[in-house]
Amino acid sequence: MGEFVVHGGHRLEGAVRINGAKNAALPIMAAAIMAEDPVLLHGIPRLRDVDVMTRVLQAVGAEVHWTAAHDLLIDPRSIQHYAVPLDLMQEMRASLFVTGPLLARLGQAQVFQPGGCNIGDRPIDLHVQGLHQLGAIPYEGDGILLLQCSTLQGSDIHLSYPSVGATENIMMAASRATGETRIRNAAMEPEIVDLAQFLETMGAVVRGAGTSEIRIVGQKELRGTEYTIIPDRIEAGTLALATAAAGGHVLLQNCIPDHVPGLWGRLREIGVEVREIDAENVEIIAPDRYKSASISIHTNPYPGFATDLQPQFTAFLLKVPGVHLISERVFENRLGHARELRRMGAQIVADQRVAMVYGGHSLHGAQVRALDLRAGAALVIAALSAETPTIIAGREIIERGYESLASRLQAVGADVTLT
């Protein structure tokens, strides 16, 4: 495994362009296999998770290739296999996204049950229940999940929790089902809206995406199309927090300010200047020093504070004098980064769901490990303001979600190298 080596203490100055959203790209790539003709996607980030999804689509028979740096062509006309290989499921839980599209296309889908991960158990019951309500019969055994249907039939589905992935899987299958599907207590994330818009360009009728009730009128056939993915709001938030922690002044280009509702208000409250220049550009200006404050955040489904920004926000709060409270409400075990941050001198007390952060004390470098993607980004943020060099192991884990992070941070003045 490679490492990030960060020499902290440099202010960040300049502009960074935000890439397309990983969490929009993955379900949209999966949805593309429902089309009758090729689909051309623009703004797809070059990430390991995207490579895994590419291999998943190829494993079921699609032809997939890059036509430009961030443009991906998916030709689904030769789809014929319904089983996702074990190694690909093990590499990425989001491989699960192909179950809805494969059911729609072939009438069956087989995946291996994804195991738990560092941030919690992450069951898939809501995916299975939703697809079952559309007419798929699940067979489970030996860690394998096989779903089969003769046809998919629109249905009234009430999710007991607004799961992002379950909402997306059901939306995809429903867009090729007979009749209308209603998803109540649906997830409302911007990535759901992006998937809905993509399905519409393929010919599905989707209403209400971005609210808690989505209605989909399925179509017999979906057509090939061309589509541009939304910018990655988590990447934008991470770079904003990196600037706030390291100090400096950075322009985030290709960033939709409305997609990060919880973060800007919090940063302003703490003294960071956040200028929403227009619909696509946000300027982040860190103060010379932070005043004492007492900040508390609770993660929640959108439009609540994003769980995917919680570790990075925790790392940033180490700069702000005062006692702060972090409460993680989406995943049951997403505070593992507290232990790694403590190796750098951070004063944090945490159990699985709640952390108290004693901010305003200086950090020193250490040898630390990225436990998961966002926890790794949190370590990079802490390292940018540490007084001595930090070595972060598990570089590949961070690169699952951030394209060329080291070189892009370096372009705005950070000292980050790769080993």
| Catalytic residue numbers, as ranges | 117
In our burial notation (b when 16+ CB lie closer than 10 A, e otherwise), range 31-57 reads bbbbbeebbbbebbbebbbbebbbbbb
94 binds ligand UD1 (CB under 6 A): yes
Look at residues 27, 33, 87, 22 and name the one whose alpha carbon lies nearest to residue 60: 33
Judged by CB under 6 A, which stretch of 8-16, 39-47, 121-129, 378-386 contacts ligand UD1? 121-129
**230 contributes a contact to ligand UD1 by CB under 6 A:** no
Q: Which is nearer to ligand UD1, 120 or 203 (CB)?
A: 120
Candidates 16, 124, 246, 252: give the one binding ligand UD1 (CB under 6 A): 124
Strand intervals (E) in 106-230 = 108-112, 137-141, 144-148, 156-158, 180-184, 205-207, 213-217, 226-228
Indicate the DSSP class of residue 32.
Answer: G
Q: What distance in Å separates the CA atoms of residue 148 and residue 211, rounded to the nearest whole number?
A: 30
Query: Closest separation between CB of residue 291 and ligand UD1, Å?
Result: 31
**In the bound complex, which residue of the shown chain has the CB atom lying closest to ligand UD1?**
165
- Selection from 331, 378, 308 nearest residue 24 by Cα: 308
Name the minimum Å distance from CB 160 to ligand UD1. Answer: 8
Site string for ligand UD1, 313-332 (x = CB under 6 A): -----------------xx-
CA dihedral 83, 86, 90, 94 (to 10 degrees): 0
Cis peptide before 261 (omega within 30 of 0): no
The CA-atom distances, in angstroms, between 9 and each of 116, 264, 316, 364 are: 37, 24, 14, 11
> Please, what is the minimum distance in Å from the beta carbon of residue 130 to ligand UD1?
8
Stretch that binds ligand UD1, among 82-90, 116-124, 247-255, 356-364 (CB under 6 A): 116-124
**Nearest alpha-carbon partner for 117 in 350, 372, 362, 360:** 372
**CA triple 113-158-29, angle to 5 deg:** 50
What distance in Å separates the CA atoms of residue 83 and residue 271, rounded to the nearest whole number?
52
161 near ligand UD1, rule: CB under 6 A? yes
3-state class (DSSP) for residue 222: strand
Residue 95 or 225: the one with the smaller Cβ distance to ligand UD1 is 95
Distance CA 10, CA 380 (A): 13
Task: Give the nearer residue to ligand UD1 in terms of CB position, either 26 or 318.
Answer: 26
Cβ distance to ligand UD1 smaller for residue 124 or 214: 124
* Contact pattern from residue 57 through residue 76 relative to ligand UD1, giving x for each residue in contact according to CB under 6 A and a dash for the rest: --------------------
- Does position 122 interact with ligand UD1 (CB under 6 A)? The reply is yes
Distance CA 48, CA 174 (A): 29
Q: Does position 376 bind ligand UD1 by CB under 6 A? A: no
Stretch that binds ligand UD1, among 159-167, 177-185, 201-209, 219-227 (CB under 6 A): 159-167
CA-nearest of 304, 227, 243, 183 to 24 is 227
Q: Does residue number 307 form part of the binding site for ligand UD1 (CB under 6 A)?
A: yes
Q: Which of 126, 147, 379, 414 binds ligand UD1 (CB under 6 A)?
A: 126
Nearest distance from C-beta of residue 15 to ligand UD1, angstroms? 26
Q: Which of 136, 164, 366, 405 binds ligand UD1 (CB under 6 A)?
A: 164
Closest CA to 239 of 66, 77, 51, 401: 401
Minimum CB separation of residue 307 from ligand UD1 in Å reads: 5
- Asked if 89 is part of the footprint of ligand UD1 (rule: CB under 6 A), the reply reads no
Site of interaction with ligand UD1 (CB under 6 A) = 23, 26, 94, 120-127, 161, 163-166, 307-308, 330-331
